Chains A and B, each alone.
Chain A
């Protein structure tokens, strides 16, 4: 394809519309006299058209939800994320201490408080049979939860605050099954984590906290997912536990 007047680079630039107008004419004359170069240009122009057409459906397809959002969450260093969560939770604690209206209509995060408290008393404090699947079957437990709740359920780790997984059981949500996970510390204290995926989107988004004797409960909502933690925890431990769940789900 070489020619003393026209280089391969110029032919490429001609194909890509990057050649100055005065050289375009020279290339066009050259192409009339060189069938190989003419074939190459025709093939390249056809390739361009086909590639653009073949890849066009991707441009028209909706961008998957969460593609940028997930990136935003992961942008933040872990300590910044924890600080942000702690600030939100702290606001919830303050609001909880000074609010007389902790009992809200059904299906609000505040209602999860009552659910998790009851679950804690019935199941988490039961030494004989607190769960349906024990921690040594965690893979099965996660698969079972995911199948029954029709979404991937990941078991968070509370190792940072000294609690290990005991196991889990299915509970009732409103429209779907819910999950209850039980964790235990070396001193035999237990945490219950209640997870629901069928919260109404219109529900309140603030963090709710309540203390009943030694038992502290915190609940919040993310999209349609509701989370509630109960346990004989200090405020600081509860903050960390909630933050671990939030980070785990992000």
Chain B
């Protein structure tokens, strides 16, 4: 099926984006599931304007916003980090990587999504603007604020020796 051929290669990317928006991988996979279902229902409405990948990310983001409106955010203490961070060599690097995933969750969701879509998924400002239905100026403003806030949070959360050891 054409749909399956289109969506399957995007699943890892959708899962990664969903994971950056949600507190744990289970919630991220639920979000991807909802996205896939909506995409299936709306498949014929994709008119070929822009990339299919961007279209799927748009659906995922809007689904996320819908869910946010319906459900109260989980307590931050329930954050489950990406646990299998094995690539970095040092304990400090591993601890920092864990921390950046936690700090990412502290950004407002529109900033978090914008930063992930641009910095991790490599979408253009224009594509992100279309996904979020906002002008490019708003995308760049959110991106700037996201980076500034994350920089400040990371500055505040300079790893102490104790955090690294534990």
Known contacts A12-B140, A57-B85; A75 and B41 CB within 8 A of each other: yes
The CA-CA distance from A74 to B98 in the complex, in Å, is: 36
Chain A interface: which size bin? 20 to 34
- B3, chain A: closest CB distance, angstroms: 8
The CA-CA distance from A54 to B81 in the complex, in Å, is: 9
Q: Are A50 and B100 in contact (CB under 8 A)?
A: yes
Q: Are B36 and A71 in contact (CB under 8 A)?
A: yes
Q: Are B97 and A53 in contact (CB under 8 A)?
A: yes
The CA-CA distance from A67 to B28 in the complex, in Å, is: 12
- B20, chain A: closest CB distance, angstroms: 6
The CA-CA distance from A75 to B87 in the complex, in Å, is: 39
Main secondary structure of the interface of B (DSSP, over half): helix
Known contacts A9-B140, A68-B36, A72-B40; A51 and B116 CB within 8 A of each other: yes
Which residues of B, 106-126, contact A by the 8 Å Cβ criterion? Answer: 115-116, 118-120, 124-125
Chain B interface: which size bin? 35 or more
Cβ-neighbour of A53 out of B83, B87, B124, B151 (below 8 A): B87
Q: Are B33 and A51 in contact (CB under 8 A)?
A: no
- B46, chain A: closest CB distance, angstroms: 14
The CA-CA distance from A75 to B88 in the complex, in Å, is: 41
Cβ-neighbour of B40 out of A16, A57, A71 (below 8 A): A71
Q: Are A51 and B7 in contact (CB under 8 A)?
A: no
Cβ-neighbour of A54 out of B12, B13, B25, B82 (below 8 A): B82
Question: What are 26 contact pairs spanning A and B, CB under 8 A?
Answer: A13-B125, A18-B124, A47-B154, A48-B119, A51-B20, A51-B100, A51-B115, A52-B119, A54-B85, A55-B16, A55-B19, A55-B20, A56-B87, A57-B82, A57-B85, A58-B15, A61-B12, A61-B84, A63-B11, A63-B12, A64-B29, A67-B29, A71-B37, A72-B3, A74-B37, A75-B41
